[in-house]
Structure 1
Amino acid sequence: MSYGTDLTDEQWRLIRSHIPRAKQGGRPREANMRRVVDAIMYVVTHGCKWRGLPTDFPPWRTVYGYFADLQKAGAMATHPL
């Protein structure tokens, strides 16, 4: 399913290099990072709770975990607006 908040191919090309690589030595990353970013965009645009993400996105805990990591790395603003 797609949403109006999903990234376009051009937007994804611009930001994908800013997504941190998977950590070495652990389990391989299972999450589709484009879908994770799409889910983050959905939450900040619609103002829904993390637990309110539609189920076709990665699990909310996964999305929130990456959001928090991106915030700590300075790749995501603390306040989206």
Structure 2
Amino acid sequence: QGQIWQQAWPEYNPKALRLNQVILAVQVNGKLRGQITVKADISEAEAIKIAQANIDVSRHLAGKTIKRTIYVAGKLINFVA
């Protein structure tokens, strides 16, 4: 044990810094309509599918045609209708 100044520095562990899940903001026409929690390595297609299934987002997309989808990995999805 000894004194604090005799202790070794902590070891670097890259696995401890890696996130398993991320929270994506979901926007419709630039306005925040919901958030989804997904795996950090999710594909764009899977993330969009989950976002469209979100009840808050689907309510704002009802009856609208999606003209463009903007996906920023690990940050947000924006549906332009």
Higher strand share: 2
Give the alignment's TM-score, normalised by structure 2: 0.28
Higher helix share: 1
Question: Computing the radius of gyration over CA atoms, which structure comes out larger, 1 or 2?
Answer: 2
